[in-house]
Chains A and B, each alone.
Chain A
Amino acid sequence: MTVLAVQPAPAIPADRAVVVRGLQRNFGTRRVLRGVDLEIYRGEFVALLGRSGSGKSTILRALAGLDRGGSGELYVPRRRAVVYQDPRLLPWARVVDNVVLGLDGPETASRGAKALSEVGLDGHERDWPKTLSGGEAQRVSLARALVSDPELLLLDEPFGALDALTRIRMHGLVRELCERHHPAVLLVTHDVDEAILLADRVLVLTDGRLSLDTPVTVGHPRTGADPAFSALRSRLLSELGVAEDGHAAR
Chain B
Amino acid sequence: MTISEVRATTPVAVPGGEVGPPGPSLVRLPLVGTTAASTGTGTGTGTAVASTHRRSLGQGWQRLIGVAILLVVWEVVSLAGWVGPQELAAPTAVISAGAHLIADGQLGDALWASLQRVLWGLVVGVPLGAALALVAGLSRAGENLVDAPVQMLRFVPIIGLESLFVLWLGVGQTAKISMIALGVMFPVYINTFAAVRSIDPRYHELADVVGLGRWGRIRRIVLPATVPGFLVGLRMAMAVAWLLLVFAEQINASSGLGYLIVEAQTYFQSNVIVVCLACYAVLGLLTDVLVRRLEKLLLPWAPGR
Contacts and interface: CB of A to CB of B under 8 A. Distances in A.
A91 B242 CA distance: 34
Nearest to B208: A2
Contacts of A101: 206, 210, 212, 220
Contacts, number: 56
A35 interface: no
A88 interface: yes
Contacts of B301: 91-93, 128-130
Contacts of A90: 203, 206, 220-221, 224
Nearest to B298: A92
Given A88-B202, A128-B300, A81 B221 contact: no
B225 A130 contact: no
B207 interface: yes
Interface in B239-295: none
A82 interface: yes
B226 to A, nearest CB: 10
Contact of B216 (A66, A102, A144): A102
Contact of A91 (B207, B210, B220, B302): B302
Contacts of A82: 209
A3 interface: yes
Q: Which 9 A-B pairs have the closest CB atoms?
A: A102-B210, A92-B224, A1-B211, A128-B301, A102-B212, A92-B301, A82-B209, A102-B211, A130-B303
A40 interface: no
A92 B226 CA distance: 11
A3 B220 contact: no
B18 interface: no
Nearest to B221: A90
21 contacts: A1-B209, A3-B208, A64-B209, A65-B208, A66-B205, A80-B209, A84-B202, A86-B202, A88-B203, A90-B203, A91-B303, A92-B225, A92-B299, A93-B301, A102-B210, A102-B211, A103-B210, A128-B301, A130-B301, A144-B210, A148-B210
A128 B227 CA distance: 17
A65 B210 CA distance: 11
A119 B287 CA distance: 45
Contacts of A92: 224-225, 227, 299, 301
Contacts of B202: 84, 86, 88
Contacts of B225: 92
A102 B207 contact: yes
Contacts of B302: 91, 130
Contacts of A65: 208
Contacts of A88: 202-203, 206
Nearest to B303: A130
Interface in B185-219: 202-203, 205-212, 216
Interface string A99-114: 0011100000000000
A86 B216 CA distance: 22
A157 to B, nearest CB: 15
Given A129-B301, A130-B303, A93 B220 contact: yes
Nearest to B205: A66
A88 B199 CA distance: 13
A65 to B, nearest CB: 7
Contacts of A86: 202
Contacts of A1: 209-211
Nearest to A127: B301
Looking at B211, B227, B299, which has the most chain A CB atoms within 10 Å of its CB?
B211
Contacts of A103: 210
Nearest to A61: B205
Contacts of A102: 207, 210-212, 216
Contacts of A81: 209-210
Nearest to A128: B301
A71 B299 CA distance: 44
Contacts of B224: 90, 92-93
Contacts of B210: 1, 81, 101-103, 144, 148
- Residue among A2, A92, A103, A128 with the highest chain B CB neighbour number at 10 A: A92
A61 to B, nearest CB: 9
A57 to B, nearest CB: 13
A81 B206 CA distance: 10
Nearest to A102: B210
A245 to B, nearest CB: 37
Contacts of A80: 209
Contacts of A64: 209
Interface in A52-90: 64-66, 80-82, 84, 86, 88, 90
